[in-house]
């Protein structure tokens, strides 16, 4: 599957200080094994002036981390926005401190409900602020999550719950909760947490302990102890069970350790385009998508805010949040591309001419850059002369491409 970071390309202004930013960078991310290398407006007065400084600090700090979600604990001492979610339950805008406190309360409640180190809890939800808090709370106490989207067939969700040997369940909607209570044996479910809305009548009649997200966090408030909270996970311990889509049979579970995911947090870098504190990452992929999971930890560890969206709200949220970063699959970028082209069809001939001229310049510059750096999709390595000509084209087109970026950013 083709995936990529969309960086700075007119989506939002780069809030840099004392650093020159590139317009776009190519990056490939894979799940590391702990050894191999894979290759919004808040006050920034106390933030590092360069992303390079932050990357170096991250490498040093994360070396001692035992939990991939440990950045939430570290971030709590900084000001700034951490999560924005206007589409999954009641809208939230949480600061770094508030997110960490929510995680600690959720973790404390899980301990009170009998969840212990090594247990697995299933999360059937789309990506959201509350689902992220729930996942981090599970990780804090040494547990692991088995994630899948709530739109998957109920038989598939049942299989994942049982195959992962989950002992508890976190769901996004009342609909999923009701269906799961119908198919899961009561003795295999210690509790169910509903992330959005109120509990349905079936929850009270099921004989299973069911709670809303608010009830769970309130349950753990007294023993949250954010100042002294001990993270019980281990680097080599299980962090997540991610499952395939199941289109060719039963879903296949892929176990990932904290070391697997921490490798990305520590080693991945996109050069001068690395995120700075206070910038925004727009989250749209599902929680069970490994690239999305990696992206959330990568950006949050660098104190970028996460704004959660969905397919229906994507276009509006691009305008509203003006994100610097978006992790996507081809379908996501097709939606963005189609929206832009549909809008251009309604513009005057002059605007169309200017737009397609800059569009052509940008495509040629990107292609030239890929050839120069050896990233072009060719069966054989390009001859030396082609690389020289591509380098000349890249140098000549870069100022015009940057001009286009400035014009687009000033009008969005």
* CATH number of 32's domain: 3.40.50.12780
Q: Is the dihedral of CA 266, 267, 268, 273 positive or negative?
A: positive
Q: Based on the domain organization, do 247 and 394 belong to the same domain? A: no
pLDDT score at 50? 54
Average of pLDDT values for 137-144?
Answer: 98
Cβ-Cβ contacts under 8 Å for 83 (sequence gap 6 or more): 92, 93, 94, 99, 129, 132, 305, 306, 307, 308
Report if residue 189 sits inside a domain.
Answer: yes
Residue 34 in domain: yes
Predicted pLDDT of residue 335: 84
**Domain end point (choices 335, 369, 394):** 335
In a domain, 340, yes or no: no
d(CA 301, CA 389): 40
- Tell me: do 352 and 314 sit in the same domain: no
- 140 in the same domain as 16: yes
Which residues form the domain of 299? 4-335
- Whether residue 253 sits in one domain with residue 106: yes
Contact status, residue 38 vs residue 30, Cβ threshold 8 Å: yes
Q: Are 321 and 176 contained in the same domain?
A: yes
Residue 346 Cα to chain centre, angstroms: 34
Q: Is residue 341 part of a domain?
A: no
Cβ atoms of 10 and 336 within 8 Å: the answer is no
377 with 275, same domain: the answer is no
- 282 occurs within a structural domain: yes
The answer to whether residue 325 is domain-embedded is: yes
Span 110-137, pLDDT tens digits: 999 999 999 999 999 999 999 999 999 9
* Torsion, Cα of 361, 364, 369, 372 (10° steps): -140
Last residue of a domain, one of 310, 335, 360: 335
Residue bearing tokens 């929850």: 203
Q: Is the pTM of this model over 0.85?
A: no
Question: Exposed, middle or buried, 214 (CB in 10 Å: 0-12/13-18/19+)?
Answer: middle
- 8 Å CB contact between 121 and 141: no
pLDDT of residue 259: 96
pLDDT confidence of residue 326:
93
d(CA 307, CA 309): 7
Tokens 């100022």 belong to residue: 399
The number of beta carbons lying within 10 Å of the beta carbon of residue 178 is: 16
**Do residues 98 and 245 both lie within one domain?**
yes
Residue 174 Cα to chain centre, angstroms: 24
Let me know whether 250 and 316 are in one domain. Answer: yes
Contacts of 185-192 spanning 24+ positions with Cβ under 8 A: 188/161, 188/162, 190/113, 190/114, 190/115, 191/113, 192/168
Residue pair 280/12 in contact by the 8 Å Cβ criterion: yes
Sign of CA dihedral 40, 264, 143, 141: negative
Residue 363 shares a structural domain with residue 328? no
Mean pLDDT of 323-347: 89
φ/ψ (deg, to 5) at 29: -125, 130
Residue 218 Cα distances to 107, 136, 194, 213, 222, angstroms:
11, 17, 14, 9, 8
Confidence of residue 6 (pLDDT cuts 50, 70, 90): very low
DSSP 8-state class, residue 203 = H
- Give residue-wise pLDDT tens across range 76-91: 999 999 999 999 999 9
Higher local confidence (pLDDT), 204 or 10: 204
**Which H or E run includes 402?**
helix 384-410
What pLDDT is stored for residue 53 in this prediction?
60
The better pLDDT of the pair 10, 354 is held by 354
Same domain, 170 and 237: yes
Mark whether 329 and 356 lie in a shared domain: no
Of 335, 357, 376, the last residue of a domain is 335
Residue 46 to residues 36, 73, 83, 249: CA-CA distances in angstroms? 33, 18, 19, 52
Q: What's the pLDDT score for residue 269?
A: 82
Split into its structural domains, the chain has a count of: 2
- Domain membership of residue 342 (yes or no) is no
Task: With beta carbons less than 8 A apart as the criterion, state whether 302 and 58 touch.
Answer: yes
Mean pLDDT of 304-332: 93
Residue 120 CA neighbour count, 13 Å, CB half: 23
Report whether 328 contacts 284 (CB < 8 A): yes
328, two tokens? 């996507």
**Do residues 211 and 219 touch, judged by C-beta distance below 8 A?**
yes
pLDDT of residue 44: 31
pLDDT at 168: 98
On whether both 265 and 243 belong to a single domain, the answer is: yes
Residue 207 burial (C-beta neighbours within 10 Å; 0-12, 13-18, 19+): exposed
For residue 51, name the pLDDT band (cuts at 50, 70, 90): low
Q: 187 in a domain, yes or no?
A: yes
């Amino acid at each position: 599957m083709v995936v990529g970071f969309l960086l700075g390309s007119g989506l939002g202004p780069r809030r840099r200080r004392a650093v020159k930013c590139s317009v776009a960078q190519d990056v490939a991310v894979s799940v590391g094994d702990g050894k191999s290398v894979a290759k919004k407006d808040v006050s920034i007065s106390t933030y590092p002036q360069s992303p390079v400084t932050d990357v170096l600090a991250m490498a040093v700090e994360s070396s001692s981390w035992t939990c991939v979600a440990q950045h939430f604990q570290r971030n709590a001492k900084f000001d700034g926005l951490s999560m924005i979610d206007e589409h999954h339950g009641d809208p939230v805008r949480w600061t770094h401190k508030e997110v960490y406190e929510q995680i600690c309360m959720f973790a404390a409640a899980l301990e009170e409900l009998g969840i212990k180190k090594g247990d697995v809890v299933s999360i059937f939800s789309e990506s959201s602020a509350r689902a992220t808090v729930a996942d981090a709370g599970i990780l804090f106490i040494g547990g692991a999550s088995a994630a899948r989207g709530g739109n998957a067939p109920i038989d598939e969700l049942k299989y994942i719950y049982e195959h992962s040997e989950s002992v508890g369940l976190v769901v996004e909607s009342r609909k999923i909760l009701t269906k799961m209570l119908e198919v899961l044996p009561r003795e295999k479910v210690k509790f169910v947490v509903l992330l959005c809305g109120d509990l349905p009548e079936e929850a009270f009649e099921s004989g299973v302990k069911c709670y809303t997200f608010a009830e769970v966090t309130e349950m753990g408030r007294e023993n949250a102890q954010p100042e002294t909270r001990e993270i019980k996970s281990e680097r080599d311990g299980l962090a997540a069970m991610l499952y395939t889509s199941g289109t060719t049979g039963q879903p296949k579970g892929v176990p990932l350790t904290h070391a697997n995911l921490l490798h990305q947090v520590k080693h991945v870098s996109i050069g001068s385009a690395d995120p700075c504190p206070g910038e925004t990452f727009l989250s749209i992929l599902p929680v069970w998508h490994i690239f999305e999971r990696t992206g959330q930890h990568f950006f949050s560890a660098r104190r970028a805010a996460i704004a959660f969206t969905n397919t229906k709200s994507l276009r509006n949220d691009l305008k509203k949040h003006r994100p610097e970063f978006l992790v996507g699959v081809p379908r996501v970028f097709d939606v963005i591309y189609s929206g832009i082209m549909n809008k251009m069809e309604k513009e005057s001939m002059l605007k169309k001419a200017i737009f397609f001229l800059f569009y052509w310049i940008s495509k040629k510059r990107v292609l030239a850059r890929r050839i120069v750096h050896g990233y072009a999709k060719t069966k054989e390595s390009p001859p030396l002369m082609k690389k020289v000509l591509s380098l000349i084209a890249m140098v000549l087109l870069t100022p015009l491409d940057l001009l286009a970026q400035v014009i687009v950013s000033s009008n969005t």
